Amino acid sequence: MTLIDLESEVLKLAPKDRARLAQRLLESLDTLSEQEIQSLWLDEAERRDRALDADPSRAIPAAEVLREARSRLS
């Protein structure tokens, strides 16, 4: 079963069951080592870099990002 197949099946679950599964998945991340966490962040940074290289129009100016973040905090 692929990840896409699994996601499709999980999304068919009742909301209560999806919430329980989400909680268990999040808890499983608490057991990662510092090295594993760093590796995941590096993978994510590289994925985002590739996405921006593929479509630079998706970039958001830093000033806009900061403005949005500040508005959400107030």
- Taken as a whole, the chain contains a residue count of 74
Per-residue pLDDT, averaged over 6-29, amounts to 96
Residues 6+ apart with CB under 8 A from 59: 52
Q: pTM of the full predicted structure?
A: 0.56
pLDDT of amino acid 73 = 94
pLDDT level of residue 14 (50, 70, 90 thresholds): very high
pLDDT of amino acid 54 = 96
CA distance 46 to 65: 20
pLDDT of amino acid 36 = 95
Record the tokens describing residue 17, joined without a space: 């069951």
pLDDT of amino acid 66 = 95
Average pLDDT, the chain: 95
Asked whether the beta carbons of 49 and 43 are under 8 A apart, the reply is no
- List the domain boundaries for the chain: 1-31, 33-74
